[in-house]
Structures are given as structure tokens and as C-alpha cells.
């Protein structure tokens, strides 16, 4: 894991030049360039060329650029994989990963790009530990729509064990974990509640389907001013305590130990990285 922000991961259809152009000015941390669900079957082939040209033209700044291919069990997956190997992007997102073996197949064909896995099948969830431990994997993105369908889950609570299981595996492997989408893009209150739920579980960010969702996701998954201020005070108090030969400090009536300082420094590093991204 790094301090690189992944608060908001926005899906952009790889077949639509206007959307690809607009993405250059959007305040997202991650762009998920999609060749899969967002592209109609008759546009799959041309989408590769459209996306490749847009990435070659650049202009996406320091945003993390991931390309989601079609599954290797489809008519387009193998050609997608070969095309992405030559694209100017930061990683390849593989849908419906069921096992670490699915990653092996892509790793051999695309030796120079980090791999990201969509966690969206029951088998993938059960194999989350070995998937996340794959040496080429940089992160996972929850595919909650497909997962809910396969689980016949009617609510987010019905997927909670699966979400937490994948998050646990990601944390054990120290890779990024991005929560699934919220479909009702005009429901700000619902989005805010689900972002807060994902943040409180421990996810690094939220995958999004519409630019209107960006501000809420960025706000909730970024450190608040109060959290930044507390982190600074904790570090200062702990440094003072250590200088006095003590192992703990007290801030606002709470014990502050070294483990809290690790979190505090991570908070400040994330805040600095967000500030750098926003001014780039």
C-alpha cells in the first residue's frame, strides 16, 4: 500500500471520446477506463482503439489510470489483454477473478503492468486471501452488483461478510481495497451513508458511476481538518513524551502510543498526497 489517494474511482466507458475527454478535468483519484460492462458488444473492438488513442494523448495528470478488460472467457478478453499491454496506463483491472490462477494468466501476458482484481463472485470472495497475496496484485475493487446477484442479496448488509472478508484479505496482503458502486447517482444522502459505511469498515475509497458522486466520495474518504489537526497534536505530544523518557503520551484525555502515531503519520501523508494531487 502507498499513500497515493484512491478516494474516488470513476468508471469511464472506453468507447466514448467525449467521456474520455471530460475525465481529464474531473476530480477523481482513479479512472477506471472500462472496456467491459460500459461498452456494448458491437463497440468492443473499436473501443480498444478509442481508449488507446485517448491514453496516448494523455492529459490525465497524476490520476491512477486503470483499464478494465473483458473476461478471458469472453470473445474479447484475450484481445483486450493484448491491447492494454501496449497502452499508457497504470494497471489492468481483471473482472470476475475467481482464483489466483486467473491472475497468473494475465501476469504472463502483461508482464509490465500492475494487476487489479474485481472481487465480484462468491468463489472469488472465498479465495480472497490467495488472490490478494498474488505478487503482482496492487489492489482489489469490489463488484457489488454482480456479487449481490450471485448471492441473491437484497441489501448491502446481505453482502457485509463478503465485503469484510475481501477487505481483511487486502489488508493482510497490504494492497488497496476499493468499495463497490452506489447505483442511485441522484441520491446524495444514500451515497453519503454508503461511503461512510465503507470508510468505517476500512476501505480506501469508493468506485463510482457518475461524476456527480465525486465530491461526496472525496470528502468522506479523505481526512477531515479535525483528523489532521489531531494527528499533528498526537505526534507532537508523543515526541515530547519520548524526549522525556516516556513511552506514552496523553492527548484529549486518551493514551497515545506508538501505534497511534503510525496512524497519525499515515493521516498526514494521505492529506499531503491529496493536496499534491489537487494542485497538480
Between CA 237 and CA 250 the distance in angstroms is 7
Q: Please state the φ and ψ torsions of residue 179, each to the nearest 5 degrees.
A: -70, 165
Q: Are 120 and 142 in contact (CB under 8 A)?
A: yes
What pLDDT is recorded for position 4? Answer: 85
| 254-256 and 64-68 beta bridge pairing | unpaired
Q: Which tens digits make up the pLDDT trace of 151-192?
A: 999 999 999 999 999 999 999 999 999 999 999 999 999 999
| CATH 1.20.140.10 for domain 8-221 | no
| 249-251 and 254-256 beta bridge pairing | antiparallel
Q: Are 216 and 191 in contact (CB under 8 A)?
A: yes
Q: Are 222 and 271 in contact (CB under 8 A)?
A: yes
Q: Which tens digits make up the pLDDT trace of 209-236?
A: 999 999 999 999 999 999 999 999 999 9
Please state, rounded to an integer, the average pLDDT across all residues of the chain.
96
Between CA 80 and CA 142 the distance in angstroms is 21
Q: Are 39 and 14 in contact (CB under 8 A)?
A: yes
Which residues, in sequence order, are CB contacts of 262 under 8 Å at separation 6+?
none
Q: Is 145 helix (H, G, I), strand (E, B) or coil?
A: helix
Q: Which tens digits make up the pLDDT trace of 122-146?
A: 999 999 999 999 999 999 999 999 9
What pLDDT is recorded for position 56? Answer: 97
- Burial status of residue 165 (CB atoms within 10 A of its CB: 0-12, 13-18, 19 or more): middle
What pLDDT is recorded for position 110? Answer: 93
Q: Is 35 helix (H, G, I), strand (E, B) or coil?
A: coil
CA distances from 200 to 36, 153, 164, 171 (A): 30, 21, 11, 14
- Burial status of residue 174 (CB atoms within 10 A of its CB: 0-12, 13-18, 19 or more): exposed
pLDDT (average), residues 91-114: 96
The set of cell numbers assigned to 250 is 496523553
Residue 1 has pLDDT above 70, yes or no: no
Q: Where are the alpha helices (DSSP H) in 4-76?
A: 17-22, 44-57
Between CA 241 and CA 236 the distance in angstroms is 9
Residue 24 has pLDDT above 90, yes or no: yes
Between CA 68 and CA 111 the distance in angstroms is 16
Amino acid at each position: 500500500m502507498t499513500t497515493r489517494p484512491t478516494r474516488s474511482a470513476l468508471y469511464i466507458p472506453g468507447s466514448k471520446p467525449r467521456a474520455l475527454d471530460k475525465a481529464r478535468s474531473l476530480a477523481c483519484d482513479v479512472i477506471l477506463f472500462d472496456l467491459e460492462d460500459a461498452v456494448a458488444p458491437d463497440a468492443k473492438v473499436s473501443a480498444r482503439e478509442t481508449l488507446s488513442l485517448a491514453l496516448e494523448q494523455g492529459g490525465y495528470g497524476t490520476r491512477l489510470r486503470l483499464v478494465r478488460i473483458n473476461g478471458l472467457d469472453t470473445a474479447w478478453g484475450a484481445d483486450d489483454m493484448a491491447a492494454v499491454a501496449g497502452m499508457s496506463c497504470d494497471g489492468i483491472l481483471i473482472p470476475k477473478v475467481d482464483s489466483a490462477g486467473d491472475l497468473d494468466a494475465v501476469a504472463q501476458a502483461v508482464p509490465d503492468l500492475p494487476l487489479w482484481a474485481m472481487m465480484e463472485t462468491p468463489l472469488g470472495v472465498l479465495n480472497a486471501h490467495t488472490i490478494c497475496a498474488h505478487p503482482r496484485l496492487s489492489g482489489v475493487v469490489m463488484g457489488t452488483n454482480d456479487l449481490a446477484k450471485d448471492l441473491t442479496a437484497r441489501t448491502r448488509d446481505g453482502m457485509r461478510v463478503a465485503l469484510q472478508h475481501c477487505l481483511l484479505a487486502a489488508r493482510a496482503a497490504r494492497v488497496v481495497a476499493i468499495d463497490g458502486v452506489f447505483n442511485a447517482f441522484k441520491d446524495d444522502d444514500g451515497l453519503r451513508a454508503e461511503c461512510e459505511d465503507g470508510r468505517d469498515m476500512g476501505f480506501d475509497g469508493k468506485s463510482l458511476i457518475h461524476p456527480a458522486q465525486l465530491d461526496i466520495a472525496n470528502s468522506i474518504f479523505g481526512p477531515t481538518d479535525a483528523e489532521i489537526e489531531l494527528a499533528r497534536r498526537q505526534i507532537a505530544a508523543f515526541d515530547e513524551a519520548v524526549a522525556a523518557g516516556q513511552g506514552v503520551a496523553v492527548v484529549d484525555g486518551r493514551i497515545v502510543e506508538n501505534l497511534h502515531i503510525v496512524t497519525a503519520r499515515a493521516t498526514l501523508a494521505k492529506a499531503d498526497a491529496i493536496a499534491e494531487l489537487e494542485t497538480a
